[in-house]
Amino acid sequence: MLFPTDGHGWAELLEPRQPRPALVADKRVAWTVIGAGLTGLACARRLATLHPDQEILLLDARCVGQGASGRNSGFAVATSQFNGGFDPGQMENYRRVNRINRAGLDLLDAQVAANGIDCQWRRDGFIHTAVDQVALREYDFFRRYLEALEIDHVVLDAGDLQTRLGSSLYRAGIAIGDGALVQPAALVRGLADSLPANVRLHEQSPVLEIIDGQPLRLRLAAAMVTCDKVIVATNYEAPALGLLRRYLIGSTLAGSFTRVLTAAERASLGSLPEWGAISLHSGGATIRLTSDGRIKIRNTAEYHGARLLSDAELSARQATHRAGFEKRFPQLARVPFEYAWSGVEGITANGTNFFGRQRDNLYFAGGYNGSGVSRGTAFGTAIADYASGNTTPTVSDCLASVPGAWIPPRPLLDIGAFFKVRSRFKGVGRDR
Ligand SMILES: Cc1cc2nc3c(=O)[nH]c(=O)nc-3n(C[C@H](O)[C@H](O)[C@H](O)COP(=O)(O)OP(=O)(O)OC[C@H]3O[C@@H](n4cnc5c(N)ncnc54)[C@H](O)[C@@H]3O)c2cc1C
């Protein structure tokens, strides 16, 4: 299948939703945004404000919420952690990335509030955790970085973490008060269902080809769209449209949810009613206690040709999820998993993003390496400004991103991609 999808994940925990109809008739518009994840939704929303008299066409190959934006772990970061050391020479770069994060976070915060989006949005931060050697080294780097940037944080020892999370596994942690936790599928659905009136969203409407020319033309299975400007917000699927080939690859992540915990089980999980714990090791687990009382754990990532996992593959990965869960919460060893899901994130060889013009009247923003909730929203908004000729502080910050690096061509591509994805687990130990 060209655009594989499945019913698994956070969307499975929500009520069924009626998708917007597919595009089946030719159209002539000024603007088209391809991809209705966080980047495309933010972009279409901003274009609608900038061009209130124009129709903004927003096309997605799948149903809203079925891309990475509806399948992620739901950590909307304010402060990025950079693995591999603290470099005082990078201070301006750190500040720039965090300005972008905060711009996206503030936008989401405002949109969730203004539109009353029911998505378990909770903006009081989360905890970065360390168990083994490599993560403990990252913990030292991260502390120096936070101190140098004067970012408020609270240092936690093993006892504090036991009290807060109900796990004796963790040896050190850092709580950062800014950043939000969210039910990601509910967030993107809410954003899609509250778009300005001049945005026309069509789901299950894959763009199969971008035909160069003035105007540009987009070929769909049952329609041709003619448009002046196109913003591509398709994440790791841009290469299928002829953009960024060998620059963006998909890494397939998977996780599981327990059933809803009983009151006694929740009481064994420490003092916080809801929390998110993110490993300081790039291959470590991200874990949440959701507001509806489930533990969610994600601790696998693999190169899988940018595909979701089959049901059989997912059940095989659950052994790893289970091991990560039980070593943290032996008191919950008998609590079964109720759901499992996978999702594909767009990654680059050097961990950076793409923002800007690709060709005449064709723009792209994406590739956030597992950190695209806040950043995708900021990039999506900024690319709308940039394509409209506006300069904003966030546009300048996004333009200053070092573009993703080239990945060698086939047959080495898959091998290179395989090792790139696997490298995140180096020395992960008990953080997984
Ligand atoms: C399991 C997992 C956990 C993650 N956890 C986090 C986290 O906790 N915090 C964080 O910040 N980030 C996280 N990420 C990364 C984050 O989800 C992504 O960076 C972000 O959602 C990317 O948004 P996007 O809109 O650019 O892309 P997507 O959400 O992938 O949206 C792209 C859209 O384009 C559509 N599309 C593709 N090709 C076409 C086409 N030809 N025609 C029409 N439509 C097309 C797709 O169907 C898709 O809906 C995670 C990712 C995964 C997979």
Question: CA–CA separation, 36 vs 225, rounded Å?
Answer: 17
Within a domain: 5: no
Backbone angles phi, psi at 378, to 5 degrees: -70, -45
- Looking at every residue in the chain, the average pLDDT score rounds to 95
Residue 411 has pLDDT above 80, yes or no: no
277 and 340, same structural domain? yes
Residue 424 has pLDDT above 90, yes or no: no
342 and 263, same structural domain? yes
Range of weakest confidence among 163-167, 244-248, 412-416: 412-416
Q: How many Cβ atoms sit within 10 Å of the Cβ of residue 262?
A: 11
What is the CB < 6 Å shell around ligand 1? Answer: 3, 34-40, 59-62, 67-69, 71-75, 77, 206-207, 233-235, 237, 241, 253, 298, 343-345, 366, 368, 370-373, 376
CATH number for the domain harbouring residue 389: 3.50.50.60
- Total domain count, the chain: 2
306 and 254, same structural domain? yes
Tell me, what's the pLDDT at 409?
A: 72
194 and 163, same structural domain? no
Tokens of 106: 């503030």
Within a domain: 103: no
DSSP conformation letters of 39-102: HHHHHHHHHHHH-TTS-EEEE-SS-TT-SGGGTS--EE-SS---TT---GGGHHHHHHHHHHHH
Atom of ligand 1 nearest to the CA of 251: 53
Atom of ligand 1 nearest to the CA of 207: 42
Q: Which residues of 319-332 are buried (b: 16+ CB within 10 A; e: fewer)?
A: ebbeebbebbbeeb
Question: CA–CA separation, 274 vs 257, rounded Å?
Answer: 14
366 and 335, same structural domain? no
Residue 187 has pLDDT above 80, yes or no: yes
Question: CA–CA separation, 137 vs 431, rounded Å?
Answer: 13
Within a domain: 191: yes
231 and 268, same structural domain? no
Within a domain: 3: no
- CA quadruple 116, 118, 122, 123: dihedral positive or negative? negative
Q: What is the pLDDT of residues 291-321, one digit of tens each?
A: 999 999 999 999 998 999 999 999 999 999 9
286 and 257, same structural domain? yes
The protein residue whose alpha carbon is closest to atom 41 in ligand 1 is 207
Tokens of 128: 């970065």
Percent of the chain at pLDDT above 70?
Answer: 99
Structural domain boundaries enclosing 258: 126-177+250-347+424-431
Tokens of 162: 């036991």
Within a domain: 392: yes
204 and 64, same structural domain? yes
244 and 254, same structural domain? no
284 and 135, same structural domain? yes
Are 16 and 214 a contacting pair, CB within 8 Å?
Answer: no
Residue 410 has pLDDT above 80, yes or no: no
DSSP state of 25: S
Atom of ligand 1 nearest to the CA of 66: 49
Interhelix angle 91-114/38-50, rounded to 10 degrees, is 70
DSSP state of 357: E
Q: What is the pLDDT of residues 43-76, one digit of tens each?
A: 999 999 999 999 999 999 999 999 999 999 999 9
Within a domain: 280: yes
Within a domain: 417: no
Are 130 and 281 a contacting pair, CB within 8 Å?
Answer: yes
Average pLDDT over residues 79-96: 95
Model pTM greater than 0.75?
yes
**More confident site: 4 or 25:** 25
Residue 1 has pLDDT above 70, yes or no: no
314 and 275, same structural domain? yes
CATH number for the domain harbouring residue 143: 3.30.9.10
Q: What is the pLDDT of residues 11-23, one digit of tens each?
A: 999 999 999 999 9
Within a domain: 96: no
Q: What is the pLDDT of residues 90-109, one digit of tens each?
A: 999 999 999 999 999 999 99
Q: What is the pLDDT of residues 344-370, one digit of tens each?
A: 999 988 888 999 999 999 999 999 998
Angle at 338 between CA 333 and CA 340, to 5 degrees: 105
156 and 241, same structural domain? no
DSSP conformation letters of 193-250: HT--TTEEEESS--EEEEEPSSSEEEEESS-EEEEEEEEE--GGGGGGGTSSTTT-EE
